Amino acid sequence: MPIKSYIAYPAEGKRQELINTLKKFEECEVIPSENHDIVIVITETNSKEEEKVFEARLKEVNSLMMLSMVAGFDTN
């Protein structure tokens, strides 16, 4: 059951849109910075396959400019 954390960079002027979109994903927890245009994203999925699928969905989010992984753990 993988857990990963990322730093997400929104597209210009789309910080709030990115936060709103990410919050809709069940697999996702979002921690916006209070004074910078970046968002910490924590993902929790049930398997590596599920994680791959979810990563692909994340990359399709229009308001997301870049996603950098910081840490990854597997609870199994």
Partner 1 sequence: MYKQTEDRRSFLKKMAILSAVTTATAMFPGILFAEEQTKSLPAGDLEWKKAPCRFCGVGCGVKVGIENGKAVAVKGDPNSTVNKGLCCVKGYHAVISMYGKDRLTKPLVKKNGKYVETSMKEALDLVASKLKETRDQYGKDSVSIYGSGQWTIPDGYVASKLFKGCLSTNNVEANARLCMAGAVTGFVTSFGMDEPMGCYEDIDHADVFVLWGNNMAEMHPVLFSRMLDQKYKRNAVIIDFATRTTRTSVAANKSILFQPQTDLAVANAICHEILRNGWENKDFIEQNCNLNKGLTNIGYGLEDKFKFKDKPEPISFEDYRKFLEDYSPEKVEKYSGVSAKDIKYMASLYGDPNKKVTSFWCMGMNQHTRATWINNLVYNIHLLTGKISTPGNSPFSLTGQPSACGTVREVGTLTHKLPKGVVMNKKSREFAAKIWGVPESNIPPKPTYDTVEMFRALDRGDIRFMWIQVTNPMVSLPHANRYTEGAKKEGRFVVVSDIYPTPTTDVADVILPSAMWVEREGLFGNSERRTQYWKKMVEPPGECMSDTWQIIEVARRLGFNEQFPYKEETHVAEIYNEYRQFHDNKKHNMAPLEVLEKEAGMQWPYVDGKPTKWRYNSKYDPACTKEGFDFYGKPEGKAIIWQRPYEAPAEVPTKEYPFWLNTGRVLEHWHTGSMTRRIPVLHRAMPHAYVEINPVDAKRLGITDGDMVLLTSKRGQLKMPALINGRGLPPVGQVFTPFFDENMLVNKLTLDSYDPISREPDYKKCAVRVEKA
What residue has token string 């229009």?
Answer: 62
User: Do residues 20 and 71 lie in contact, with contact meaning Cβ atoms separated by under 8 Å?
Assistant: no
66 binds partner 1 (CB under 8 A): no
* Contact pick of 20, 31, 59, 66 for partner 1 (by CB under 8 A): 31
Distance, CA of 1 to CA of 46 (rounded, Å): 5
The answer for residues whose C-beta is within 8 angstroms of residue 72's C-beta and 6 or more apart is 2, 3, 4, 5
19 binds partner 1 (CB under 8 A): no
Rounded to a whole number of angstroms, the minimum distance from the CB of residue 17 to partner 1 is 20
40 binds partner 1 (CB under 8 A): yes
List of residues contacting partner 1 (CB under 8 A): 1, 3-7, 31, 33-36, 38, 40, 42, 44, 70-73, 75
